[in-house]
């Protein structure tokens, strides 16, 4: 696909060892993602999601021509998110219950320190805890 370090414009030179490491990392990531499924036999703890809708977040790109490098500077499709994660799909896998979804107006690095939303989520989760 000529993306990432394989894009001719990246300037990255990868050795055979680098390529093997990259391939193994992608293989492990695929295995990990396959484990991210709702399990109907599990009673999940209450969960809250804080996700941002502050930034047009790229979700798809087009190639100018077949086999040309990807045009990462020109996303073809964007959705509201934090710049890395799309707000609509942020959170646990489908089927895992979420008791509260809050919307942040922060970028990716700001969501983790959005104290008003964090306080609201923690308060709601504490109210739902079982003693």
Each of the 131 residues of the chain gets a pLDDT tens digit; together they read 567 777 777 788 889 999 999 999 999 999 988 888 899 898 888 899 999 999 999 998 877 777 777 777 777 899 999 999 999 999 998 889 999 999 999 999 999 999 999 999 999 999 987 76
The pTM of the whole model exceeds 0.75:
no
Cβ atoms of residues 55 and 80 within 8 Å: yes
Instruction: Count CB neighbours of 104 within 10 A.
Output: 21
Give the C-alpha distances (Å, rounded to integers) separating 130 from 45, 55, 98, 122, 126: 10, 37, 16, 14, 9
**Which two tokens mark 88?**
């609509």
């Amino acid at each position: 696909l000529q993306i990432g370090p394989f894009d001719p414009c990246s300037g990255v030179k990868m050795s055979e060892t680098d390529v093997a490491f990259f391939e193994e990392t992608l293989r492990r990531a695929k295995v990990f993602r396959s484990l991210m499924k709702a399990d109907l036999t599990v009673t999940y703890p209450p969960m809250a999601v804080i996700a941002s809708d502050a930034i047009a977040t790229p979700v798809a790109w087009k190639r100018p021509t077949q086999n040309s490098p990807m045009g990462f500077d020109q996303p073809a499709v964007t959705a509201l998110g934090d710049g890395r994660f799309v707000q609509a799909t942020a959170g646990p896998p489908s089927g895992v219950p979420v008791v509260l979804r809050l919307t942040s107006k922060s970028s990716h690095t700001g969501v983790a320190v959005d104290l008003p939303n964090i306080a609201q989520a923690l308060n709601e989760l504490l109210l739902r805890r079982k003693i």
